[in-house]
Amino acid sequence: MGTMRSRIVSSLLLAAAAVSSFAAQAEDVKRGGTLVFARPEEPLTFNPYVPADNGSIYAIVQVCDSLILADDTGLGIRPGLAESWEVSADGLTYTFALRDAKFSDGAALTAADVVFSLQTAGGPTAAYAFGFEPIQSVEAVDDRHVKVVLKRPYTPLISVLSLFAAAIVQKAAYEADSDAFGQKPVCTGPFKVEEYSRGSRVVLVRNEHYWDKGVDGQPLPYLDRIEMLYVPESNARVLGLRSGDYDVIAIVPFNQARQLEGDSEVTVEARPIYRLDYVYLNHSKAPLDKKEIRLALNYAADREAILNTVYFGYGEIPNSYMPKVNYHSEAVEKIPYDIEKAKELVAAAGYDGTPIDVMFSTGDAPAKQIATILQQSWQAAGLNANIVEFEGGTAWDMTTKGEYQAYVSYITSDINDTDELAVIEADINSGTNAFFTWYNNPDVIDMLAKARQSPDPAERAEIYAKVQNTVYHDGYSVPLNFLPSINAHRNYVHGWRVVANGWWWLKDVWVDK
């Protein structure tokens, strides 16, 4: 049985070379110091197999590495704890050569830790277990090699292994007490958790055993310490940045971004990420069970106006039911704003006046604004729309139970492969009922299964384009915006980068105060 070298590796090396060429020069970099970073969310746990919230995920990736890592842009991947890997000719066996890395407590990384971690990641209680479902077994070949055997070909595997949910943890520490691990994880990432106070802040300090090197040839990270503060009030974050209390703030409100751009001591960045803001529709609830009504909602949505008033021009009007991940097709035709067409569809559906409750979460100002705008245009199309407001936890709970009709919210992708979200959103058997839409199209489910197993990128691209066209034009949801991530930092912060997955790599950030 011959083996073939993954073609990804060689393209990775090219990408890495390209990135380092425009990265900072060795003599520029200043080591040490503290970064004060204000975020609107906080981590709920550092246990990588539990959470699905961005507050936790974005913090976990600073502390825990996976076999594969998202690269500097997030569009590609690079070797992480696996230095290299080989794939068998039938595409069913992946063998990973482990890096000579150490955990934050100084103990060496072993194959046993990797086997334990991947088994836990695919275990019955793990939140992202669906991504590991095609894995038959994970075993140690020797102390430095781990073999992953698949049930059937599964092309997205390498991307899935770059998930935060595929993080490698220290077996002994995790097995001893997984709750304590959630507070003080033992991983191989660039930082370790020094202090974790729920509701206020997390302090990360440099992991002196980290394996990766900076541009000066010395081990990363450059920073000694990161104070990650939980500041949900957006005005407070902006004021804190301007006054210099915070070095970096995540999520600048759109209305203040332009104004903040005028501050000469601050840099504002809007980076495209794998994110789609959209209105979830529950296809199991009348009148949304009718395709005509769902399409009418789409035709009656004035996305141009929403882009200008709510998002202040940041973003792009979508032509898809999911974020722009690697197999996104630009060819799918957008549903235009056409109120007459919407009226025709409403009439054709024989609409009986059943009200549609448009839900948003308390405190989500853009969502409230969107609900207000949509309510008016949907009423103009002859639909009976109400606005309802619920506290975030309650709203999410109602969504997962299917006790809602329309919910103004968003979705983000954690990996650079279309498979993750395409399956979660459009396959009713994926465990989330097609991401709480109860959308059920057997043709789409077949196509997705085929795309998962195909090793040919051209074939996968063709299938995903077809899926995108079908699901989008089935009126799956009301897509509103491919929203970028808007963050701001003071000018003395260098190397700040948002990756397409939505988070930021803090390992090569440095400050020159």
Partner 1 sequence: MTAAVRAELARWPASLKVGSASFALIVLTGLFAPWLTAYDPYTQDLANFLQPPSWQHPFGTDQVGRDVFTRVLYGIRIDLQIGFLTTYVPMSYGLLLGALAGYLGGWFDTVLMRLLDVAVAFPFLVLIIVIIAILGPGVHTIYIAVFILAWTMYARLARSEMLVERGKDYVLAARTLGYPTSRVIFRHAMPNVINSSIVFSMADFVLNILLVSGLSFLGLGVEAPLPEWGAMIAEGRDFIFDAWWIATLPGLAIVLTGVSLSLIGDGLAHRLGQRQRSFL
Which C-beta is closer to partner 1: that of 15 or that of 270? 270
Contacts of partner 1 in 118-147 (CB under 8 A): none
| Positive/negative CA dihedral, 353, 402, 296, 387 | positive
List the x/- string, 285-324, binding to partner 1 by CB under 8 A: -----------------x--x--xxx--------------
- Partnered with residue 55 across adjacent β-strands are none
Cα–Cα distance for residue pair 192/209, rounded to 1 Å: 10
In the set 363, 393, 455, 457, which binds partner 1 (CB under 8 A)?
A: 363
Question: Which residue in 235, 354, 429, 491 binds partner 1 (CB under 8 A)?
Answer: 235
Minimum CB–partner distance for residue 388 and partner 1 (Å): 7
Q: Is 440 in the site for partner 1 (CB under 8 A)?
A: no
Please, which of residues 180-199 interact with partner 1 by CB under 8 A? none
Instruction: Please say whether the beta carbons of 70 and 167 come within 8 A.
Output: no
| All residues at 6 or more sequence positions from 145 whose CB lies less than 8 Å from its CB, including other chains | 95, 96, 97, 98, 111
* Residue 362 Cβ vs partner 1, minimum distance, rounded to whole Å: 3
Between 84 and 362, name the residue whose CB sits nearer to partner 1: 362
* Contact pick of 365, 400, 446, 512 for partner 1 (by CB under 8 A): 365
* Coil, helix or strand at residue 503: coil
For position 388 contacting partner 1 by CB under 8 A, the verdict is: yes
Rounded to whole angstroms, the Cα distance separating 70 from 166 reads 12
The verdict on 41 binding partner 1 (CB under 8 A) reads: no
Q: Which is nearer to partner 1, 137 or 259 (CB)?
A: 259
Contact segment (CB under 8 A) with partner 1 among 221-229, 360-368, 458-466, 504-512 equals 360-368
**Both structure tokens of 304:** 């141009």
Contact 293, 349 (CB under 8 A): yes
CA dist 296 and 342 (Å) reads: 4
DSSP-assigned letter for residue 215? T
DSSP labels, 21-73: HHSPPTTT-----EEEEEESS--S-S-TTS--SHHHHHHHHHH---SEEE-SS
Among 137, 376, 400, 429, binds partner 1 (CB under 8 A): 376
Binding partner 1 (rule: CB under 8 A), the pick from 238, 252, 356, 511 is 238
The maximal CA–CA distance of the chain, rounded, in angstroms, is 71
- What are the φ and ψ backbone dihedral angles of 253, each rounded to 5 degrees? -65, 145
CA distance 347 to 353: 11
The correct pick among 291, 368, 466, 473 for binding partner 1 (CB under 8 A) is: 368
State yes or no: residue 338 binds partner 1 (CB under 8 A).
no
Give the containing element (helix H, strand E) for 11.
Answer: helix 7-22
Q: Which residue has the tokens 């853009």?
A: 366
- Residue 285 CB, nearest distance to partner 1 (Å)? 17
Would you say how long the chain is, in residues? 513
SS3 state at 458: helix
Would you list the DSSP string of 464-493?
A: HHHHHHHHHHTT-SEEEE-PPEEEEEETTE
Q: 386 or 491, CB closer to partner 1? A: 386
- CA pair distance 250, 39, nearest whole angstrom: 5
Closer residue to partner 1 in complex, CB, 253/431? 253
**Out of 223, 226, 371, 465, which residue is the one contacting partner 1 (CB under 8 A)?**
371
Ranges of H-type helices in 213-364: 234-243, 254-261, 291-299, 303-309, 339-348
Shortest Å, Cβ 310 to partner 1: 8
Q: Which of 3, 197, 372, 491 binds partner 1 (CB under 8 A)?
A: 372
Where helices occur in 101-228 by DSSP H, the ranges are 111-121, 157-160, 171-176, 178-183
Q: Residue 234 interacts with partner 1 (CB under 8 A)?
A: yes
Residue number, 256 or 433, with CB nearest to partner 1: 256
- Closest CB 305 distance from partner 1, rounded Å: 4
| Residue 397 Cβ vs partner 1, minimum distance, rounded to whole Å | 13
What number of chain residues touch partner 1 (CB under 8 A)?
28
Nearer to partner 1, 52 or 365 (CB): 365
If one asks whether residue 373 binds partner 1 (CB under 8 A), the answer comes out as yes
* CB 256 to partner 1: min, Å: 6
Which residue of 227, 245, 389, 462 would you call a contact of partner 1, by CB under 8 A?
389
Residue span 243-262 as binding mask against partner 1, x where in contact by CB under 8 A, dash where not: ----------x-xx--x---
369 binds partner 1 (CB under 8 A): yes
Give contact residues for partner 1 (rule: CB under 8 A).
234-235, 238, 253, 255-256, 259, 302, 305, 308-310, 362-363, 365, 368-369, 371-373, 375-376, 386-391
